[in-house]
């Protein structure tokens, strides 16, 4: 059964390009509600912890360097079928392969600097949300 939350991060390239507002607008216009939001700067260690699952991949070091290169904006988003719908909205990991109109196609430069993260499963959405937000920082009821 699909759950209704996903975790996104507006990555350091998004913040450097001053695109937070444009990207959040597109996310909201697609029907997502922001349940939690903060701007933080990850360290190499906290970026590494978040991307632990990619530890053995050749791009892991580069990914941790990039994700700790400036502030980023993690958010918990709510919508029916949130994980799948959000991945459709952001497009493929590599912007060159992303569909027209998707966030990565519009704004991303490369596979590494691709503007935004989106959870890939309901289970990871819950794990990743807890990585950034204690329950006390989530809006309890958006109605």
Nearer to ligand CMP, 96 or 139 (CB): 96
Nearer to ligand CMP, 36 or 72 (CB): 72
Binding marks (x or -) toward ligand CMP, 32..71, rule CB under 6 A? ----------------------x----x--xx--------
Determine the Cα–Cα distance for residues 117 and 89; give it in Å rounded to an integer. 11
Nearer to ligand CMP, 13 or 78 (CB): 13
The catalytic residue positions are 117
> Taking a C-beta distance cutoff of 8 angstroms, is the pair 98, 104 a contact?
yes
Taking the complex as a whole, the smallest distance from the CB of residue 95 to ligand CMP amounts, in Å, to: 10
Binding marks (x or -) toward ligand CMP, 69..108, rule CB under 6 A? ------------------------x---------------
Residue 114 found at the interface with ligand CMP (CB under 6 A): yes
Which residues in this chain contact ligand CMP in the complex, by CB under 6 A? 54, 59, 62-63, 93, 111-112, 114, 117
């Amino acid at each position: 059964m699909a759950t209704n939350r996903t975790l996104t991060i507006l990555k350091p390239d998004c913040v450097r390009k001053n695109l937070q507002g444009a990207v959040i607008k597109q996310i909201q216009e697609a029907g997502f509600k922001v349940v939690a939001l903060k701007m933080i700067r990850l360290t190499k260690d906290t970026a590494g912890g978040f991307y632990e699952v990619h530890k053995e991949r050749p791009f892991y070091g580069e990914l941790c360097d990039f994700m700790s290169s400036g502030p980023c904006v993690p958010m918990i988003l709510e919508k029916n079928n949130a994980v799948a719908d959000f991945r459709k909205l952001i497009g493929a990991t590599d912007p060159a392969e992303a569909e027209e109109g998707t966030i990565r196609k519009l704004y991303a430069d490369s596979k590494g600097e691709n503007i935004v993260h989106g959870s890939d499963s309901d289970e990871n959405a819950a794990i990743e949300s807890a990585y950034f937000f204690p329950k006390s920082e989530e809006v309890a009821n958006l109605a």
